[in-house]
Amino acid sequence: MHGRPRKAPKPEDEAASTAKAQKLRALQTQFFSFHHSKIYTKETVELSAKLLEINPESYTAWNYRKLAVEHYLSQPDCNPDTAKSVLDDELRVVESALRQNFKSYGAWHHRKWVLSKGHSSIDHELRLLDKFQKADFRNFHAWNYRRFVAELMNRSEKDELKYTEDMIYTNFSNYSAWHNRSVLLSALLEKKAEGFLSKENVLPEEYDFIHQAIFTDPDDQSGWFYHLWLLDQTVTTDHPLLVSTWPAHGSDVLLVEDRCQNSSSFSPFTTLLSDSGSFPIVLYFNQPVEGVSSSTVVMECRFNKNEDLLWEPLSVSNLQTAQVWVAHLKFPTSELDSSVKISVGYTKEIISTRGSLYSHPSTFSFKVHVQPVERDSSQVSVAENILWREENFKVYRAQSEESIPIASFDHLSIRNDHESTASNWQTEALAKEVECFRELLSLMDCKIGKLTLARLLMAYDAMSFPFANKLVHSEEVLELYNDLMKLDPTHHRYYKDEHSLVLLQKMTSSKESLLQHCFQYKDSVSSAIGKPICLRLNNLSLSRIRAFERLLWVQILDLSHNELESIEGLEAMQLLSRLSLGNNKLRSLTALEPLRKLKSLRVLDISYNQIGDHSIDTTRYLCSSPLSHSVGSELNNDESVINNVALINYWEAFYMFKDLNLNRLDIVGNTIADEKFKSVLVRIMPSLKRLDGELLD
């Protein structure tokens, strides 16, 4: 166990083990016979006690004893004294079993069940717990049971908090005590108990407390986990907030049906080519929420009705709770100039998964300009012909950076004087922690200290400059993650992911840095203003992607030549029409699940990935539970597919692509991309015109 080689058993140990097994089998045979016959005599119940003394993990024996107890308690002659005697016997059996294995799930659960009957004294329980916690102070079963007993005794959370403090001072490595402390503090803060009215009064003292443990033994993980919990409590916003929208507040959106005429008054960042007669309105919250509907989000618009706006959660797991919500607003085919105003959360029905109400109503408005343009059938669509080569892109030269819609919370009109900056205690606490851990790292080379400092610096920047999107310490953080990848290769992937997320946040934190990655496609068809911006984040060695709240405006995205295994979160980018994911490390078709939410996607490049290299896709369950049976369930509802053996064999392809309206797909370079698979793709997607660059009949 844990890398230790097994020792060969001694002959006498083997003999004892064999004898014990024989005795256990004989007891089990007798016990199961009585259990199946529902015999609850004194002798049979004692037999189950002997069985549990040898094997406390026998769940069937514990369940049998519950049935026996219920049988005795239901007898007409059962009085309170008899009931107490029966239940006290159960407590003695549990205690005997716990001496054999004080981490037995069944035994602890049975003891809870007995006490919940209400006939037994609980005065003895804390003394019993003291014995077991001294035997193993990190026994989480005992700590969990202690919380149960404390509630039965109406023991105050403050007293229990003092107990955890005593246990921690006895041994700083008591992870279970630290965990119990976090549970108690959360409850006290939520209740706003006396002395715990706000985090401002409590958390700074907790930081001082945890420093004693960390500086005493920096190699022990217990204190570091508690420090991470404190950091989360410091930076997490209690109530959900709307952090980004598309269209952005104050923007002018030009909608054209096919191609845009030359009009210098509109920015390519807000020019949308729509072939569906509608465009998306996107709400991006800082945490998952539910309750977004036409009653909680009200639209004022002269060319559409508010009740016609149907809000949908962008959740790949098909839940009604999501961080991003979208609705599609239909626009007329005739020429139009009109304003749209969206009011969010003026009724108290939007609520987070933590149970907090959206309590900061906000509004944003934008102008919509519709220009119907006649189609020219002689021209080939740029979308179908786009090639992701370097020479086909030119750097975008903005006439005015004001037209670049990097969304942030200051674009929204907030009621009730919402705080625009973090409270002083938060920034002061984070600044103190940064100074503290810099001092620690000056004394020793500590891996977890570097990781904590990187997290603190990012949190400090987010708290100090929430709406300026400044990352003052990004270079230092990136260097810390580079050091960690070298110092701790075992966790290289985690550090690589964090490095990628910080790099993306840095690149999207300002208009100046973002412009360096904005390009226009060089073609001879579209006019200058009709060429939407392509955001090129290729060749950056990214293993994860984030910062989607600042990229809602992107229509063309190049993520090629990175190290992506997942594109989780990409579903927020509802305007995406062309996407390159070529030359990454995508392992399966179901890793593309977020793309099913992108209704505007017309061009997709997933060439030269690892799709088909692995027979079992284990990463897909990160997004949707295998218990939901959502993936592939469409096969049972589509009669045209049920009788098609080829499509059934490629059910993942059917699931991923059947709802996409792609015009072009590049899949060459993947193991799965043989001629048979390509023929299946053509049948799944009748809209497909080009496959791996070749024009289809």
At 617, the pLDDT band (50, 70, 90 cuts) reads low
Q: Quick one: 442 and 586 in the same domain?
A: no
Q: Does position 223 have pLDDT exceeding 50, yes or no? A: yes
Q: Which class for 441: exposed (0-12), middle (13-18), buried (19 or more C-beta within 10 A)?
A: middle
Residue with tokens 């465009």: 279
pLDDT of residue 268: 73
Do 111 and 171 sit in the same domain of this protein? Answer: yes
627 C-beta neighbours (distance < 10 Å), count: 7
- Residues 114-134 have a mean pLDDT of 83
- pLDDT bin (cut points 50, 70, 90) of residue 6 is low
610: tokens are 């690892």
Residue-wise pLDDT for 337-381, tens only, equals 889 999 998 888 899 988 889 988 889 999 988 877 655 544 445
Instruction: Check whether residue 368 and residue 444 sit in a common domain.
Output: no
Q: Considering 393, 414, 435, which residue would you say is the last residue of a domain?
A: 414
CA nearest neighbour of 503 among 466, 544, 459, 469: 544
Confidence band for 131, pLDDT divided at 50, 70 and 90? confident
pLDDT at 383 over 90: no
The reply to whether 441 falls in a domain is yes
Kind of pairing, strands 556-558 and 533-536? parallel
* Least reliable range by pLDDT among 2-16, 79-93, 352-366: 2-16
Whether residue 180 lies inside any domain: the answer is yes
Among residues 507, 533, 560, the one where a domain terminates is 507
Q: What is the CATH number of the domain that holds 58?
A: 1.25.40.120
Query: 396 and 428 in one domain?
Result: no
Three-state SS for 83? helix
Average pLDDT on 65-93 reads 89
DSSP bridge partners of 312: 326
Average pLDDT over residues 498-515: 91
CATH code for position 390? 2.60.40.3710
Residue 288 burial class via C-beta count within 10 angstroms: exposed 0-12, middle 13-18, buried 19 and up: middle
Q: Is residue 560 part of a domain?
A: no
Using only the alpha carbons of the chain, give its radius of gyration.
Answer: 31
How high is the mean pLDDT of the chain? Answer: 83
Q: Residue 151: which of 122, 185, 191, 124 has the closest Cα?
A: 122
pLDDT band of residue 525 (cuts 50, 70, 90) is very low
Q: Check whether 420 has a pLDDT greater than 70.
A: no
Domain tally for the chain?
Answer: 4
Residue with tokens 């699940």: 593
Residue 408 has pLDDT above 70, yes or no: no
Domain containing 447 equals 424-465+470-507
- Residue 409 pLDDT > 70, yes or no? no
Mean pLDDT confidence for 409-430: 58
The alpha-helical segments, DSSP class H, found in 508-595 are: 511-515
Q: Which two tokens stand for residue 447?
A: 């891996």
Lowest-confidence range among 88-92, 231-235, 338-342, 644-648? 644-648
296 and 409 within one domain = yes
Whether residue 270 is predicted with pLDDT greater than 80 in this model: the reply is no
pLDDT of residue 399: 60
C-alpha of 395 from chain center: 35
| pLDDT > 60? residue 2 | no
pLDDT given for residue 389 in this prediction: 86
401 and 500 housed in the same domain: no
**What's the pLDDT at 254?**
83
Domain identity same for 410 and 439 = no
- Say if residue 60 is in the same domain as residue 151: yes
Cβ atoms of 374 and 503 within 8 Å: the answer is no
Per-residue pLDDT at 377: 47
Please indicate, yes or no, whether residues 402 and 435 belong to a single structural domain of this protein.
Answer: no
Please tell me the predicted confidence (pLDDT) of residue 12: 64
For position 321, what pLDDT does the model report?
Answer: 92
Statement to judge: residues 132 and 279 lie in one domain: no
pLDDT at 421 over 70: no
Sign of CA dihedral 506, 511, 515, 517: positive
Q: In this structure, is residue 336 part of a structural domain?
A: yes
Least reliable range by pLDDT among 139-148, 526-535, 553-562: 526-535
Q: Is residue 534 part of a domain?
A: no
Is the model's pLDDT at 249 over the cut of 50? yes
Residue of 31, 22, 463, 550 lying closest to 231 (CA atoms)? 463
Is the pLDDT at 259 greater than 50? The verdict is no
- Are 251 and 340 part of one and the same domain? yes
Mean predicted confidence (pLDDT) in 237-241: 85
What letter represents residue 668's amino acid? V
Q: What are 179-214's pLDDT values in tens digits? A: 999 999 999 998 888 888 889 889 999 999 999 999
pLDDT at 55 over 80: yes
Owner of token pair 């412009």: 515
- pLDDT beyond 70 at 164: yes
User: Mean pLDDT, to the nearest integer, of 657-669?
Assistant: 94
Question: Does residue 202 fall inside a structural domain?
Answer: no
Residue 74: pLDDT above 80? yes
Q: Is the pLDDT of residue 694 over 80?
A: yes
Say if 229 falls within a structural domain: no
End residue of a domain, out of 395, 414, 433: 414
Within a domain: 522 = no
Asked if 320 and 290 count as a contact pair (C-beta separation under 8 A), the reply is yes
Residue 403 sits in the same domain as residue 432: no
